[in-house]
Amino acid sequence: MSYSFHNIFEKGEKYYIGYCLEVPGANGQGKTIEECRENLQDAIELILQTREEDARRGIPKDAIEEVVNF
């Protein structure tokens, strides 16, 4: 699957702070923007994985699953 995310990076006194507009709670920080970007990507992946696992717990066994790519 392919998604596009809008990440915002701000320079603090010592660190860059990053957050994702589409994934509330996904934040990252780092001494460099590259380190911040990597940490933010890890946070996004972890949150999306956790949300999918939580959502799958409520799906009935006879439900039909379909993948939509955009």
DSSP annotation of 30: E
- AA letter at 16: Y
Give the model's confidence band at 22: pLDDT under 50 very low, under 70 low, under 90 confident, else very high: very high
Residue 42 lies in a domain: yes
**Domains held by the chain: number:** 1
Q: Taking the model in full, what pTM does it have?
A: 0.85
User: Which helix (DSSP H) or strand (DSSP E) does residue 11 occupy?
Assistant: strand 7-11
Residue 2 lies in a domain: no
Residue 35 lies in a domain: yes
Q: Which domain holds residue 40?
A: 7-52
Give the model's confidence band at 68: pLDDT under 50 very low, under 70 low, under 90 confident, else very high: confident
